[in-house]
Chain A
Amino acid sequence: MGSIVLVVRLALADMRRHKVQAAMLMLAVTVATATMALGLSLRDVSDALYEQTRAATAGPDVVALSGDTGPAVTSALASLTNEPGVMAHHGPYRIVYADLTTRDSLSSPVVVHGFAETPGAVNRPLVTSGRWVRSGGTVLERGFATALGVGVGDHVTIAGRSYPVVGIAVTAATSVYPGAAQIGPGGGPSDYSGLAWMTRSDARTLASSHDLPVTLAVDLKLRDPAATEPFIDAHSDPTVRITFHSWQFRAERDMAILRVSQPILLVGSWLLGFLAITGVASLASGRAVEQTRRAGLLKAVGATPGLIATVLLTEYLALALAGDALGLALARLTAPAIASPTASRIGDAAGPTGLAIAAATVLAVAVAVLSTLGPTLRALRTATVTALTATAHQPRHRPRLTALSALLPTPLLLGLRLTARRPGRAVLQACSTATTVIAIVALLTLYAQPERGYGLDGSSALPNLRGEHDRQLMLAVTILLIALAVVNTLTFTWTTAMEARANMAIARTLGATPGQISAGLSTAQLLPSLPGAVIGVPLGIGLLSLFAARNAVDPPSSWLLGAVLATLLATAALTALPARLAARRPVAQTLSAETA
């Protein structure tokens, strides 16, 4: 009992004393776990939203579509409704292919479903605002209406005729916007299209008055909703071309818009986790002397090695787990918006799955353990008496580097020697820079891709939602990565400055100016950043090629070069502030503090 109180007390006291470090660890773990939980939950959230929409709209188990019309097709589709496995049905109904234009001159292909004024037992679209179809009016699918910026009471022009929008609705019978046209006219491929409903007679009139392409569909409810595949296999008729879409296929198609989102989030979470580890490890190593002394003190008063390890790790683990909980809550809140970028689905997504929670928690624990393992082991292995008088890490003597650096200007001399004092930290700085550049390259690559908009003939007046969604996600992940990298750079510089303050003070007594000291500290961060930024470019291109489409194009070389230069300039600017602050410390004060 006493030990638990002690562990908690020491952990809390240390957190209070190092608030910035505690906040940084928690923030880093929060963003990494939130991103990972989102990435791992996307499919489940998408499925859940589809399921909830399906339940709310009596979604069909199978939709049978024919690209042709005529008595034979109508008969074939109607005969499906009499099959013993079919419990209920809706249709056959007309699907008319037309163009829709809003008052704002936004134009898009649209498929118009001719429905009864009173919805049947299957495929009853849920009206989310306004009312259901009536003669002379149209109801727009919610995802489509949102993209067009159209609401109830507005007018839209379909095939040259104006219709009032009387309602907005959702359905699980079609894919999310812009995938409403499940097959094209004649059964061929379809364009990006929105969905509108009209009364049967209005749809018939629309089709006939403008000689528009028409297809037929029937929605089926099966006795065994899971047995869609056997039903489809049993009713494939070679004489009449019918396309069957099961509800499972529909749910799968909802994921199409998220095809790139998932890798963006998952790879992003790995990179964020990596940056979290490098940042916290740097902070922890900066406090290694203090931690070792603390461990020695605890040993002297009778703490066992196990208890000391518990004390050292508890603080980080507690913070990491708190960050994990925050990250999971954040993922829970943002999952519906990210998993359903269109407004075509309704419902509240369930929280992250067990797998996502477990994986995020493993990531959080890994960040805590990996970033503190070194200082903890050092504290445990150091003999008590040595630990009580622990001093800063003594760097190796490197005569060749010392001789080489002597030929350089003072800032470079100092920078090179500072970098060589802590090669491990230099590697972390290089990796941190490379990680940032990887994200920037991925972002630039996404912006470099040509894509078809959802407007008429691929017009970008209605932008490509998937591309926009991917870019927004990538931008968010990149901003998070840059934020962590910025914190890391500041931490690396400050930790280096603090560890080298005695040496820098001696350099000042030997005639180095504060400006040279400051430039030396900045150079110490820039030297490893340079190879990090350069190697980040091919790594970024290579990583993205694993997930990108085969016809994806690389961003222009000038963009990549600009990214590298901007990263290095930003690093130089970021290191300037802590370096200047550290260099301004009075020499006498520093030297007397070190010898006290």
Chain B
Amino acid sequence: MNVSSAVVRVRGLVKDHGQGQSRVRAVDAVDLEVPQGQMLAVMGPSGCGKSTLLHLLGGLERPTDGEAWLAGRRIDTLSERALARLRRRSVGFVFQAFHLVEELSAAENVELPVLLAGRSRREAGCRASLLLERVGLADRARHLPSQLSGGQRQRIAIARALANDPLVVLADEPTGNLDTAATLDVLRIFEALRSAGQTLVIVTHDERVAATADRLISMRDGMFVDDTRLAGSHTRGLGGLIGLEG
């Protein structure tokens, strides 16, 4: 793999939680490169370190040891402020629990990262309209999160993650709280993103979600135990692939 084309790269990444005797190694000397446009799925049992890895890749947590780069820039040594700016421009997060601001409307939630990036309210509004259209929720722009279904909330969260055209979207169990139909909606969006060349890293328990990826990494006890190419999977019909359509 060409190192220069890797959007995400980590070397010897270690993350320990706790101290002393209660210390637990969540991520254990992991090496990883994710090239531009790849959709990577990370699977593994609960507590194997998948989510921690995702947090480390996005600068939400600092590694105990090792190095991490995003688009060629080393991020494990950045200050909290610099990490925030990096996340703002280069990383889009999608969480299992959505994490939308409850008191803001759908459109306002999507506008949030655009405004954080210092762009005007008008630009933010235009960008939110475009993205809500893209995730099929243009007619829900004024709704509060509490007025939306789980699937709709997750689509809003995806739109928010894409607000500043991030280099990589990091999704942590994005379908974990969704029913089958909503899962299909979300996967269709991810499929469209991959087709558009968006780099995606998805942590999931769901094999059906993992099957849509270009590459699948399996984790156990903080380490990678398997790294498989799934080339061509996306050429099949998505619904058929994941058994959601007849």
Contact = CB atoms under 8 A, between A and B. Distances in A.
A54 interface: no
A358 interface: no
Interface in B206-228: none
A395 interface: no
Given A384-B61, A385-B55, A385-B61, A301 B93 contact: yes
A17 B103 contact: yes
Contacts of A297: 99-101
Interface residues on B, range: 35 or more
Contacts of A294: 101
Contacts of B113: 301-302
Contact of B60 (A2, A10, A305, A385): A385
Contact of A5 (B61, B80, B100, B121): B121
A391 interface: no
Contacts of B104: 9-10, 13
B116 A2 contact: yes
Interface string A285-301: 00000000110111111
B17 to A, nearest CB: 10
Contacts of A16: 103
A293 B95 CA distance: 13
B88 A301 contact: yes
A462 interface: no
Contacts of A10: 101, 103-104
A14 interface: yes
B119 interface: yes
Contact of A6 (B99, B102, B115): B115
A1 B120 contact: yes
Interface residues of A, number: 30
A20 to B, nearest CB: 15
Nearest to A13: B103
Nearest to B92: A301
B160 interface: yes
A304 B84 contact: yes
Interface in A149-199: none
A297 to B, nearest CB: 5
B23 interface: no
A3 interface: yes
A362 interface: no
Interface in A384-411: 384-385, 388-389
Contacts of B55: 384-385
B89 interface: yes
B192 to A, nearest CB: 22
Interface string B98-117: 01111110001000111111
Contacts of B236: none
Interface in B192-246: none
A455 B100 CA distance: 72
Contacts of A299: 60, 84, 87
A307 B87 CA distance: 14
Interface in B21-45: none
A305 B121 contact: no
A121 interface: no
Given A14-B103, A305-B80, A385-B55, A2 B120 contact: yes
Judged by DSSP, the binding face of A is helix
Given A300-B93, A385-B61, A388-B95, A305 B103 contact: no
Contacts of A3: 115-116, 118
B112 A301 contact: yes
Nearest to B124: A2
Contacts of B86: 302
A585 B144 CA distance: 26
A300 B103 CA distance: 17
A315 to B, nearest CB: 11
Contacts of A1: 118-121
A383 B55 CA distance: 11
A300 to B, nearest CB: 5
Contacts of A296: 99
Given A1-B120, A2-B118, A306 B81 contact: yes
A21 to B, nearest CB: 13
Given A6-B115, A383-B61, A302 B101 contact: no
B84 A2 contact: no
B85 interface: yes
A302 B81 contact: no
A303 interface: yes
Contacts of B114: 2
Nearest to A306: B81
A303 B93 CA distance: 13
A107 B112 CA distance: 75
A555 B80 CA distance: 60
A216 to B, nearest CB: 76
A304 B60 CA distance: 12
Contact of B116 (A6, A13, A293): A6
A294 B97 CA distance: 13
Interface in B151-169: 160, 164
- Most A CB contacts (10 A, CB to CB) among B61, B99, B124 go to B99
Contacts of B100: 297
Contacts of A17: 102-103
A445 to B, nearest CB: 48
Most chain B CB inside 10 Å of its own CB: which residue of A10, A16, A296, A384: A384
Given A1-B118, A293-B99, A302-B89, 8 more contacts: A3-B116, A13-B103, A301-B87, A301-B88, A302-B164, A304-B80, A385-B55, A388-B95
A-B pairs, 3 with minimum CB distance: A302-B88, A2-B115, A13-B103
17 contacts: A1-B120, A2-B116, A3-B116, A5-B124, A9-B104, A293-B99, A299-B84, A300-B95, A301-B87, A301-B112, A302-B85, A302-B86, A302-B91, A304-B81, A305-B80, A388-B95, A388-B97
